[in-house]
Structure 1
């Protein structure tokens, strides 16, 4: 299965020049744990350049008493960004994310433009659906066997 089949296409984005408080408000408004930081090329193409998570804000900034008004998103975002493509295999993406130690990866198209985000939650949901299907298959097999051999 490809990343493009399961990723979330509704990505909350922000510019690196915005302030941290605006980023936090966006996360709260959209009920997400991150914003993808993008740069705009050719007036429309959004290229992911970083990510800022709620954890970054709490652990790296608030817990250290950093003045949020003194920083921009670009000052606090993670630059070591792992992006995956729509065509990447989900299992390969999981391995890449595990290797990097990240729970979210922006999804890009062949031109490098942002088209979605793949999260740990997306993958857990997919795996739980597949496990439920396997359980249903097992129950159905038992039911068929009982019907054939009462």
Structure 2
């Protein structure tokens, strides 16, 4: 169930980075309507939360975030974003730093590795996929190949 066009149009994201910033702001505010307005109108949008099943379609995604927001805002901040843009599609690989309450109420940091896929639509860049996996402190370290050519 996407938002009506007039509501979605209020969240015009002119770049994938704009859409991503709005996504994390909606998480931090537990703003379900704003979050859902960022998703593409495609039927095959999907979302995977850490350790959870694949959710397909607006209804399933909305229901899952509604349940999550029932516990309060999600204090997630994107870090170490790697981007691949090609035409009307953008893929962002993100290391999310999530602040959670520990057993004694003190703030603790959890890490999540996420892939966010965005599509360019008539209403701007919209999310088509959010796939998040549990991470660990060691994921802050990044392994990558060096450049293939020397300059």
**TM bracket, shorter-chain basis:** under 0.3
More strand by share: 2
Tell which structure's C-alpha radius of gyration is larger: 1
Q: Per chain length, whose mean CA-contact separation is higher, i.e. which structure has more relative contact order (CA < 8 Å, sep 6+)?
A: 1
Which protein has the bigger helix share?
A: 1
